[in-house]
Amino acid sequence: MSKPIIAIVGRPNVGKSTIFNRIIGDRLAIVEDKPGVTRDRLYGSGEWNGRAFSIVDTGGIEIDGEDEIMKSVRMQAELAVEEADVIIFMVDAKSGLTHADDEVAQMLLRSRKPIVVAVNKVDNLNRRDDIYEFYNLGFGDPIAISGAHGMGIGDLLDAAIEKLPEIEEEHYDDDVIRVALIGRPNVGKSSLVNALLGEERVIVSNVAGTTRDAIDTPFERDGQKYVLIDTAGMRKRGKVYESTEKYSVMRALKAIERADVVLVLINGEEGIIEQDKHIAGYAHEAGKASIFVVNKWDVVEKDDKTMHQFETKIRDHFLFMTYAPIVFLSAKTKQRLHKLLPVVCHVSEQHALRIQTHLLNDVVSDAVAINPPPSDKGRRLRINYVTQVAVKPPTIVLFANDPDLMHFSYERYLENKIRAAFQFEGTPVRIFTRKKSDED
């Protein structure tokens, strides 16, 4: 089930990034009192009154901006508006209603999306009356907030959540493996779908971004049922869309959330670029089983060392995903294609693997005996008990005398020992340390 999306939009320097950080409870966005600091969209997850949602922070929209950076920012914001279920339109109480606000409002009206107007920088009661002129925008009751002081955020989320659509439940059997294909434009996602299905179900073109929308395609192979979720490229086709390598991330996020296994496609002909790391990171952070699929391997000039060298590059670039297997193939010629689905099945099983508690405790006890935790100011971490509390991804809780004594390097050591014992190939493993209580 994919989470609904809330986008925060508005002209530059009205405080969008500060509100974004308040909502997700983290400082992901760069906050600086200077127009145009947030260049790209940023994404996070939030929850309010039992509703989970994804939230996107956009660069400020300057309708009349002519330089390339502002064109790109405006395009990113338009994509966010296109994908969002609800839009928070932020304005500034100190500046009052501006011509630029009116221009943004006209763009939002054309989107026909539910809009909530948030009037930021209402930092004290004396400014409460400053919100009334924003009724002129025609989007209903403006909500007074202060990003600097955290006031009114609850009211804002109440209004946004109220406008979210109801999520339709998916009706796939439990034994179906849902596979999402993600990657930057023109890595061959649609070609791989067609190759796996053996028929031309998806439009394929060498123009980046010709897939118009996410498509679910069920099929069965060797008795195993699958659903392929092909993430769309960009819908619009103007020159500014064709000339950019920006990835329509929100659609990918929706597909990732619904998937059991994520195929991270890399263009074997072009190699790895920074954008590939960003895209793979979304699958990792979502805790999904993942496979690197190096496509277009048929056109790569190679010798007996080429594949090993490419594997090394992937491991060097994706240090946070050393668990993900790598498959080299060509969707066009179907070279090595038969190797993919068995790996999909394997990592799906590993993603859902549950380890018996006594086996986990034995492995961790042995690991601690071989390499005891380092002491901190004379105090040493003592792990009393270990148990797995969830699957998809496997989630393990260590009960200890003091969680603050758990250093990330020692946690990584324990994860490596657990992986050595039980594999967990293709899936992240989440480890949490909690204080042992009398109940435990």
- Residue with the larger pLDDT of the pair 278 and 345: 345
Q: How far apart are CA 60 and CA 9, in angstroms?
A: 7
Q: Is 263 helix (H, G, I), strand (E, B) or coil?
A: strand
Per-residue pLDDT tens for 84-119? 899 999 999 999 998 888 888 888 888 889 999 999
d(CA 113, CA 192) in angstroms, rounded, equals: 34
pLDDT of residue 169: 59
Angle of helix 16-24 relative to helix 153-163, nearest 10 degrees, comes to 80
Q: Please tell me the distance from the alpha carbon of residue 45 to that of residue 5, in angstroms, as a whole number.
A: 9
Closest of 412, 405, 361 to residue 386, by C-alpha: 361
DSSP H/E element including 363: helix 357-370
Pair 81, 111: CB distance under 8 Å:
yes
| Distance from the first to the final alpha carbon of the chain | 33
pLDDT for 150 beyond 80: yes
CB atoms within 10 A of CB 278: 13
pTM above 0.85, yes or no: no
Asked if residue 124 lies in contact with residue 23, where contact means CB atoms within 8 angstroms, the answer is no
The CATH class given to the 177-351 domain equals: alpha beta
* pLDDT-above-70 percentage for the chain: 80
Per-residue confidence (pLDDT) for residue 273, from 0 to 100: 85
Do the domains 177-351 and 5-163 match in fold?
Answer: yes
**Residue in 14, 149, 170 with CA at minimum distance from that of residue 92:** 14
Dihedral sign for Cα atoms in the order 273, 278, 282, 284: positive
> What average pLDDT is seen over the chain?
83
Average pLDDT of 228-252? 49
CA pair distance 36, 339, nearest whole angstrom: 46
The percent of the chain in helix, strand and coil, each rounded to the nearest 5, is 35, 20, 40
pLDDT in tens, 204-220: 444 444 343 456 788 88
Q: What angle, rounded to 10 degrees, do the helices at 408-422 and 357-370 form?
A: 130
Instruction: Answer whether residue 440 shows pLDDT above 90.
Output: no
- What CATH fold (topology level) applies to the domain 5-163? Rossmann fold (3.40.50)
Q: Which of 268, 260, 274 is nearest to 332 (CA)?
A: 268
Provide mean pLDDT across the span 260-289.
90
What band does 238 get if pLDDT is binned at 50, 70 and 90? very low
In the prediction, which pLDDT does 84 show?
Answer: 85
Could you tell me which residues are beta bridge partners of residue 295?
Answer: 267
Query: Does the CA dihedral 336-337-340-341 come out positive or negative?
Result: negative
One-letter amino acid for residue 325 of the chain:
P
30 band by pLDDT with thresholds 50, 70 and 90: very low
- Which pLDDT score is estimated for 68? 58
Mean pLDDT of 233-238: 38
Confidence of residue 431 (pLDDT cuts 50, 70, 90): very high
Q: Please give the pLDDT value at position 26.
A: 58
Q: Tell me the C-alpha distance between 108 and 61, whole Å.
A: 11
As a whole number, mean pLDDT of residues 166-170 equals 66
Supply the pLDDT for residue 215. Answer: 60
Residues 343 and 259: their CA atoms lie apart, in Å, by: 15
Q: Tell me what pLDDT residue 249 has.
A: 63
Residues flagged as binding site: 10-17, 57-61, 120-123, 183-190, 230-234, 295-298
For the chain, the structural domain boundaries read 5-163, 177-351, 357-435
Q: Indicate whether 71 pLDDT > 70.
A: no
Omega before 12 cis (within 30°)?
no
Pick from 203-212, 243-252, 323-332, 430-439: least confident: 203-212
Mean pLDDT in residue range 215-238: 71
Separation CA 340–CA 185 (nearest Å): 21
Q: Which amino acid is located at 397 in the chain?
A: V
**Binding-site residue positions for GTP:** 10-17, 57-61, 120-123, 183-190, 230-234, 295-298
Strand pairing report for 224-230 and 326-328: unpaired
- pLDDT band for position 203 (cuts 50, 70, 90): very low
Q: What residue has token string 């989470």?
A: 3
SS3 string, 78-124, reads HHHHHHCCEEEEEEECCCCCCHHHHHHHHHHHHHCCCEEEEEECCCC
Taking each continuous run of H as one helix and of E as one strand, the counts in the chain are: 12, 17
Question: What confidence category does residue 67 fall into, taking pLDDT thresholds of 50, 70 and 90?
Answer: low
Gap between the Cα atoms of 263 and 189, Å rounded: 9
pLDDT score recorded for residue 75: 67
Model confidence at 11, pLDDT cuts 50, 70, 90, reads confident
* Mean predicted confidence (pLDDT) in 5-18: 87
CATH topology of domain 357-435: GMP Synthetase; Chain A, domain 3 (3.30.300)
Give the 3-state secondary structure of residue 410.
Answer: helix
Q: What is the mean pLDDT of residues 396-422?
A: 94
Amino acid occupying residue 218: P
